[in-house]
Amino acid sequence: MDTTGETADRDPLRPTDHTALLLHVLRREAARFGKRRGLDMGVGSGVLLAALGLLGVAELHGVDADAEAVAATRRLLGEMGLAARAEVRQGSLWAPVAGGRFDVVVANLPQFAALEPSDPDHSPGWSAAGADGRAWLDPFLAGLGAHLAEDGVAFMTHNVAADRARTDEILARSGLAARTAHATTMVLDPRKSALLHPAVRARAENGLSRIGPYEFVEVTVLEIRPVGTG
């Protein structure tokens, strides 16, 4: 069997429904965030960083641990004429932008509670985030307060299985608070259903639903700001 075409069409960094959800919120809320400096934490395909540029953000900063994602983002920004305004670095979370503060931060980080990738067609680190789904989420949230401008805002996807109470607790330590900017229901890939850690499944029971063979999950976008702003 000739699989040449299938290999050529494979896109391990292709945007997901979560990316589209964040894109929707960014466009809707563009009048409510500053446009001087923007950061995409975990750039992946580069779509969200490019979106910030198209929405008028002057300085574009991106971080990803995956060298392939960094290269793909640089290519996309170059194709869209945004490269001169952008700096995309490879590294782990806040280390590549230490000391920087941003008017707007976007993050679509892995939050799926599994110890192995759930989609062989995506990059190896896609989605898997440890037994509780918070391997990337917790250090991102812990460092966010030090990297937001005084009137800055962050928009991030948040899976119902990722324990919202814990998120709010970590944010409060840095003087930040979150509100739900958007909520929706998405179909859960069967491969993810099979890999979801049992303890997390039990905790997220109210946010999971099944109709026949299909399982659905609640997903939100959080808007995070310093307490007393926004």
Residue 222 scores a pLDDT above 60: yes
225, 171 Cβ separation under 8 angstroms = no
CB-side neighbour CA atoms (13 Å) of 124: 4
Helix 67-79 with 47-54: angle, nearest 10 deg = 30
61, 102 Cβ separation under 8 angstroms = yes
Residue 5 scores a pLDDT above 50: no
> Helix count (H) and strand count (E) of the chain?
8, 8
Block residue for tokens 């409060």: 172
Residue 118 scores a pLDDT above 70: no
Q: According to the model, what pLDDT value does residue 120 have?
A: 54
Q: According to the model, what pLDDT value does residue 220 have?
A: 93
Q: Is residue 178 part of a domain?
A: yes
Q: What is the rounded distance in angstroms from the CA atom of residue 206 to the CA atom of residue 194?
A: 18
Q: Is residue 50 part of a domain?
A: yes
Q: What is the band of 130 on the pLDDT scale with cuts at 50, 70, 90?
A: low
Taking only the tens place, the pLDDT of each residue in 177-220 is 999 999 999 888 787 777 776 776 776 666 788 889 888 888 89
Least confident of 7-16, 43-52, 120-129, 186-195: 120-129
Tell me the residue type at 105.
V
Q: Is residue 3 part of a domain?
A: no
Q: What is the rounded distance in angstroms from the CA atom of residue 157 to the CA atom of residue 150?
A: 22
Residue predicted with more confidence, 229 or 180: 180
Name residues whose C-beta falls within 8 Å of residue 66's C-beta, 6 or more positions apart in sequence: 90, 123, 125
Q: Is residue 153 part of a domain?
A: yes
User: How many domains are there within the chain?
Assistant: 1
| Nearest to 113, CA basis, from 136, 94, 92, 91 | 136
Q: Is residue 194 part of a domain?
A: no
Taking only the tens place, the pLDDT of each residue in 66-111 is 999 999 999 999 999 999 999 999 998 999 999 999 999 999 998 8
Q: What is the rounded distance in angstroms from the CA atom of residue 119 to the CA atom of residue 142?
A: 28
Q: According to the model, what pLDDT value does residue 30 have?
A: 97
Q: Is residue 189 part of a domain?
A: no
**Domain residue limits at 111:** 17-184+220-226
Return mean pLDDT, the chain. 87
Q: Is residue 215 part of a domain?
A: no
Residue 1 scores a pLDDT above 60: no
CATH number of the CATH domain containing 156: 3.40.50.150
Q: According to the model, what pLDDT value does residue 162 have?
A: 78
Residue 8 scores a pLDDT above 90: no
Show the tokens assigned to 71.
Answer: 């290269």
Q: Is residue 211 part of a domain?
A: no
- Strand locations in 108-169 (E): 148-159
Show the tokens assigned to 161.
Answer: 């299985």
